[in-house]
Amino acid sequence: MARLGVNIDHVATLRNARGGSEPDPVAAAAIAELAGADQITIHLREDRRHIKDRDLHILRQTVQTRLNLEMAATDEMVEIALNVKPEACTLVPEKRAELTTEGGLDVRLHQEALKPYIEKLQAGGIIVSLFIDPDPDQIKAANKVGADYIEIHTGSFAEARDWKEEEEELIKLENAVKLARKLDLGVNAGHGLNYVNVKKVAAIGGIEEFNIGHSIMSRAILVGLHQAVRDMSELVRYA
Ligand code: PXP
């Protein structure tokens, strides 16, 4: 049975929009866990645009399941991870100008730079996953640098423009899972998965964990809006 990692970065984005303290990602993490999340996933970006160091430190103390820290492979981030000790670190590429993580990590190109970081994290008892495109060369490179897991970037599948393209992308995902399993790499998946397209990816089998953020938070706003408006409506009416 696959695990669900709930990415709560968007809760922090909303909080930061007003510079205040709500909604608190720590509260969101607790609710996600109560609802059955197997893991809380957060991305501490170099520019701290959503999750802040404060969130990471409090979540380390409050998360009851597993904490998965997405981060760039840099000295600063590896030091933070070794200090905070999340159960897992997912290494992702990071560009300041991007809206979200746009592509997978080029493990082939950056093998030499990545290896010492991976080894340091593993020596600290942290599981290391590499966020990569479903590309056989990247999977082989991830194996070569000693990663425990890969997280397959499902963005190209999610953004397919028609059923034919979607089918082609799904086959790439299937082949990627097969190759990774053959190499004894654990397989996670994420990015752009929603309440419609996740079923096809989950049906592939062999994927241990899904990390999903945007679609869950989007749905939370819509399914929660009714109650939120009712609550406020009562306050203004009957005060
Ligand atoms: N996995 C990784 C490595 C990511 O960078 C992201 C986006 O932060 C996700 C999963 C979740 O993607 P989405 O928000 O599209 O569900």
For the ranges 70-74, 99-103, 184-188, 204-208, the lowest mean pLDDT is seen at 99-103
Point out which residues pair with 39 in neighbouring strands: 5
pLDDT band at 79 (very low <50, low <70, confident <90, very high): very high
Q: What is the pLDDT confidence band of residue 196, given thresholds at 50, 70 and 90?
A: very high
Q: Which residues contact 85 (CB under 8 A, 6 or more apart)?
A: 60, 124, 125, 126
Residues 149/187, Cβ–Cβ less than 8 Å: yes
Which residue in the list 33, 50, 70, 153 is annotated as catalytic?
70
**Ligand 1 within 6 A of CB of 210:** no
What pTM value is reported for the model?
0.96
**Pairing assessment for the beta strands 39-43 and 67-71 based on DSSP bridges:** parallel
Rounded to an integer, what distance in angstroms lies between the CA atom of residue 122 and that of residue 188? 18
Q: What is the mean pLDDT of the chain?
A: 96
192 lines ligand 1 (CB under 6 A): yes
Mean pLDDT value of segment 47-57? 97
CATH number of the domain to which 131 belongs:
3.20.20.70
Contact between 39 and 69 under an 8 Å Cβ cutoff? The reply is: no
H helix or E strand, kind and range, residue 33:
helix 25-34
Q: What average pLDDT does range 128-134 have in this prediction?
A: 98
Active site residue 119: no
Note the pLDDT tens digit of each residue in 165-179. Answer: 999 999 999 999 999
- Distance between CA atoms of residues 153 and 143, nearest Å: 16
How far, in Å, from the CA of 95 to the mean position of ligand 1?
Answer: 14
* Token reading at 23: 């909604």
Share of the chain above pLDDT 90, in %: 95
Find all residues with CB under 8 Å of 63, minimum gap 6, and list them. 29, 33, 40
**Measured distance CA(119)–CA(179) in Å, rounded:** 23
Ligand 1 centre and the CA of 191: distance in Å? 4
Lowest mean pLDDT among 29-33, 57-61, 95-99, 110-114: 95-99
Which atom of ligand 1 is nearest the CA belonging to 191? 12
SS3 211: strand
What would the mean pLDDT of 119-142 be, rounded to a whole number?
Answer: 98
Per-residue CA distances from 220 to 8, 16, 29 (Å): 11, 18, 13
**Is the Cβ atom of 212 under 6 angstroms away from ligand 1?**
yes
Domain span at residue 200 reads 3-238
pLDDT of residue 95: 76
- At 99 the pLDDT is 67
Number of independent structural domains in the chain? 1
Q: How far is CA 148 from the centre of its chain?
A: 16
pLDDT for 97? 64
What's the confidence (pLDDT) of residue 94? 83
186 lines ligand 1 (CB under 6 A): no
Ligand 1 atom at shortest distance from the alpha carbon of 9:
8
Q: Does the pLDDT at position 239 exceed 90?
A: no
